[in-house]
Amino acid sequence: MEQHLKIKKELVQYFKNKQRVLPIESKNISIYNKNIETAYLEIVNLYNTNGLAIFKAYSRSNENNNDPFWHVELKVTMGLL
């Protein structure tokens, strides 16, 4: 039973770390600010809804695309224009 609790805690910590990099308006508060059991139940719910997609990294490309100092040619090459 102790191993089960350790795995649950590590899974919740993994998702809390993923939430940490997001802006406040994008955070899942049930995972980020709640206790382990509440966060775990939210993760299970997300898994049941979205499957393995919940383990994918969050895309941060929009932050980089808004740099006004990027060359237009670079934006075209990357498909941003």
Segments of the chain with pLDDT less than 50: 64
The CB density around residue 32, as the number of other CB atoms within 10 Å, is 17
Q: What does the pLDDT read at residue 76?
A: 59
Tell if the pTM clears 0.75, that is, is over it. Answer: no
The residue range of the domain holding 16 is 2-77
Q: What does the pLDDT read at residue 42?
A: 95
Q: Total structural domains in the chain?
A: 1
Helix (H, G, I), strand (E, B) or coil at 8: helix
